[in-house]
A and B are shown apart, each in its own frame.
Chain A
Amino acid sequence: MDTLQACIASVGILGPGLPDWPTAARVLAGAAPWEAAPVLLPQPVALPSAERRRTGAAVRLTLAVGLEATASAAIDPSLLPAVFSSSGGDGQNCHEICEALASADRQLSPTRFHNSVHNAPAGYWGIATGATAATNSLCAHDASFGAGLLEALCQVRVERRPVLFIAYDTSYPQPMRSVRPIPAEFGVALLLAPPGSAGALAHIALGWSSAPADCMDAAPLEQLRSSIPAARGLPLLARLARGAAGPVRIEYLDGARIALEVSHAAGS
């Protein structure tokens, strides 16, 4: 079987000091310094007001990066299947549930409960965009970026259509933060399309490696990459930002690395 391949048609990103793809691309290309800044999660205006009030960080984050990627590619998000991958989903919501269950009355809010499902961002994405195609919601702990990317690449290959891939993580409050110290919200969306799609940023081909994963040159960016599972894909984004062809190794499970060969997109 030949190599799994896809085009990257567009990117959305939101994380510390990386407020959108145009800004992040300059930082990742080394054209501008990374500057610490809190992650400002936009109001989820795409949702009906009744739903808007019910959303937490995971939903706002994924809507922001997903809509940035689809807008930048001028693609109607309602037509796309989507793959979500996250190490821990909504950390604050999980904490609130465990705290309520440890209290005397164990009263849970119904909204908190239905927001606790790992696929809550996928559910709200559908409500916001009207997308009725399949979504998937994955978790692979620290390998969640790689696991989601593999699922999306398989979908592109088998379904022969564009797929929106969103990796995201949120931070836990204490006491969970001590055992899972994810420092900040981080989300990235890649609109993947079949090889040869017009106007793509780059082309990627999948391979494997046992060599160490690529690190980021700038210390603060390496800190993001190594501390937030969804940011494990930053070396790929850096290559996209620089427009430079070549290999990228991304952390996956145990001793395996996903080795992507990035090239200029044919037909772009």
Chain B
Amino acid sequence: MSPLALTAFTATSALGRGLAATLDSLRTQRSGLAPCSFETVTLDTCVGAVAELDAVRLPPELSEYDCRNNRLAWLALAQDDFGESVARCAARYAPQRIGVFLGTSTSGILETEIAYRQRDPGSGALPAGFRYRGAHNTFSLAAFTQRALALAGPAAVISCACSSSAKVFASAQRAIAAGLIDAAVVGGVDSLCLTTLYGFHSLQLVARTPCRPFDAARDGISIGEAAAFALLERADANLDADDVLLLGTGESSDAWHMSTPPPDGRGARAAMLQALAAAALEPGDIDYINFHGTGTASNDAAEATAVAAVLGRDVPGSSTKGATGHALGAAGALEAVICALALRAQLMPGGINTSAVDPQLPISYLRENRTAALARVMSNSFGFGGSNCCLILARAG
């Protein structure tokens, strides 16, 4: 594929608002995970919540989209001059020539969960004012973002569980290559809700203490919330050395089980090989890998096996979910932005919370930050339904 430039990007998560706060948290190895006090949840677990999200308000003209998820999107869009960069891009092409492709798994379902507690005792009806299109519907995030950024091109939400907002990079890349659009806003937003907290609990996949990816004693995920966005354009000749490129994407399906990967991680392996082929790279060209690394026993084992099969066991890598929690449908974009930051800062972020790396896993897991020459990095995202996606990002110079 032809490389695309990430001409703007931003992220807001439990690590903070915007790139500077995110990078500072990574440099100091600060975790955003804390005991869960979200809404009425009574589970003994930790979450990566975005600070003061409850205080964020949408502007009146966008109030039909009000929900926790779109407030998080609004908060993130206001960081790092992202909106200004998109406006410049829209002036250069046209609002109709810029696509919006965003990932989310649960959109504004928290509003629906709360509305179900407020049903009319007689009729069972939802409370007046319940907004299906603006809050509940999965597309609400992309509709809201498109309006917030005054764009008018093709738009879609891609909802493939925890691979969603990695896959948006691949869809946007195809749409640009096919000539459907000239540029795309991609990203992902997922916010805390009861469905995922109680749902992962029902599968016994939620850790009590902050998650410990690839630890010998890992015992599940910590759920986080995040919003991350990037503006993708064709890479032109005027790139700075610090600019970040999307070099390759790979996608595959496990065709195995709804919530567990095959032990050999063959779907993950296929996605990584495809991304390398798309980027015209060899396995030895990858300097750092940001693992999907959720912290469950089976996911981490399958991913380690797949990574070792493709890259060998010596490429340094880490999961940043010990710091951010698992942002589910936003994880792919969040970790792509973390990779872009890593390339800019020449910093491999160590994976925190992990105290003893599982000796059974054939990988070189970084627990401490390492400063090193980073040219090309890989980011994995895998989701329920056996949906796998791998992205390769690189410095322009």
Residues of A within 8 A of B (CB): 1-2, 4, 51, 54, 78, 85, 87-89, 94, 97-99, 101-102, 106-110, 113-120, 122-124, 126-127, 129-141, 143-144, 147, 150-151, 153-155, 157-159, 174-176, 178-180, 253-254, 256
CB distance from A193 to the nearest CB of B (A): 15
The reply to whether A139 and B203 contact each other, CB–CB distance below 8 Å, is: no
In whole angstroms, how far apart are the Cα atoms of A150 and B200 in the complex? 33
**Nearest opposing residue in chain A for B193, CB measure:** A101
A123-B384, A150-B154 known; A141 vs B180 contact (CB < 8 Å):
no
The reply to whether A140 and B139 contact each other, CB–CB distance below 8 Å, is: yes
The reply to whether A118 and B160 contact each other, CB–CB distance below 8 Å, is: yes
Q: Could you show 11 A-B contacts with beta carbons less than 8 Å apart?
A: A2-B179, A101-B113, A101-B116, A102-B119, A108-B199, A124-B258, A155-B174, A174-B125, A175-B125, A253-B155, A254-B152
The reply to whether A175 and B171 contact each other, CB–CB distance below 8 Å, is: no
A119-B161, A133-B252, A253-B155 known; A114 vs B384 contact (CB < 8 Å):
yes
Interface residues of B in 125-166 (CB under 8 A from A): 125-126, 130, 132-133, 137-140, 142-143, 152, 154-161
A4-B178, A136-B158 known; A141 vs B254 contact (CB < 8 Å):
no
Residues of B within 8 A of A (CB): 105, 109, 112-113, 115-117, 119, 123-126, 130, 132-133, 137-140, 142-143, 152, 154-161, 167, 170-171, 174-175, 177-180, 194-195, 198-203, 251-259, 266-267, 270, 383-387
**Nearest opposing residue in chain B for A105, CB measure:** B198
In whole angstroms, how far apart are the Cα atoms of A229 and B137 in the complex? 13
Given contacts A132-B270, A141-B133, A154-B180, 15 further A-B contacts (CB under 8 A): A78-B255, A98-B116, A114-B384, A120-B385, A123-B387, A127-B258, A137-B160, A137-B385, A140-B156, A141-B139, A150-B156, A157-B177, A157-B178, A158-B178, A256-B152
- Checking B159, B174, B180, B253 against A133 with a beta-carbon cut-off of 8 angstroms, the contacting residue is B253
A98-B113, A154-B171 known; A113 vs B133 contact (CB < 8 Å):
no
* Contact residues of B: prevailing secondary structure: mixed
A174 CB contacts on chain B under 8 angstroms: 124-125
A99-B116, A136-B160, A138-B156 known; A114 vs B259 contact (CB < 8 Å):
yes
Q: Which of B125, B156, B170, B259 has the most CB of A within 10 A?
A: B156
**Nearest opposing residue in chain B for A121, CB measure:** B385
- Checking B123, B142, B152, B255 against A129 with a beta-carbon cut-off of 8 angstroms, the contacting residue is B255
B180 CB contacts on chain A under 8 angstroms: 4, 150, 153-154
CB distance from A1 to the nearest CB of B (A): 3
**Nearest opposing residue in chain A for B139, CB measure:** A141
In whole angstroms, how far apart are the Cα atoms of A150 and B175 in the complex? 8
In whole angstroms, how far apart are the Cα atoms of A188 and B300 in the complex? 37
**Nearest opposing residue in chain A for B113, CB measure:** A101
CB distance from B188 to the nearest CB of A (A): 13
- Checking B157, B201, B266 against A140 with a beta-carbon cut-off of 8 angstroms, the contacting residue is B157
The reply to whether B159 and A139 contact each other, CB–CB distance below 8 Å, is: yes
The reply to whether B253 and A147 contact each other, CB–CB distance below 8 Å, is: no
The reply to whether B195 and A179 contact each other, CB–CB distance below 8 Å, is: no
In whole angstroms, how far apart are the Cα atoms of A157 and B255 in the complex? 25
The reply to whether A126 and B254 contact each other, CB–CB distance below 8 Å, is: yes
A101-B194, A117-B105 known; A178 vs B126 contact (CB < 8 Å):
yes
In whole angstroms, how far apart are the Cα atoms of A168 and B113 in the complex? 24
The reply to whether A138 and B158 contact each other, CB–CB distance below 8 Å, is: yes
A102 CB contacts on chain B under 8 angstroms: 113, 116-117, 119
CB distance from B152 to the nearest CB of A (A): 7
In whole angstroms, how far apart are the Cα atoms of A180 and B139 in the complex? 14
The reply to whether A179 and B132 contact each other, CB–CB distance below 8 Å, is: yes
B386 CB contacts on chain A under 8 angstroms: 123, 126-127
CB distance from B148 to the nearest CB of A (A): 15
In whole angstroms, how far apart are the Cα atoms of A174 and B386 in the complex? 31
**Nearest opposing residue in chain B for A254, CB measure:** B152
- Checking A89, A108, A178 against B198 with a beta-carbon cut-off of 8 angstroms, the contacting residue is A108
CB distance from A179 to the nearest CB of B (A): 4
CB distance from B141 to the nearest CB of A (A): 9
In whole angstroms, how far apart are the Cα atoms of A109 and B200 in the complex? 10
In whole angstroms, how far apart are the Cα atoms of A154 and B160 in the complex? 18
The reply to whether A151 and B156 contact each other, CB–CB distance below 8 Å, is: yes
CB distance from B314 to the nearest CB of A (A): 28
Q: Which of B180, B198, B199, B270 has the most CB of A within 10 A?
A: B199
In whole angstroms, how far apart are the Cα atoms of A138 and B125 in the complex? 29
In whole angstroms, how far apart are the Cα atoms of A97 and B112 in the complex? 10
B384 CB contacts on chain A under 8 angstroms: 114, 117, 119-120, 123
**Nearest opposing residue in chain A for B260, CB measure:** A114
A99-B116, A175-B125, A179-B126 known; A110 vs B254 contact (CB < 8 Å):
no
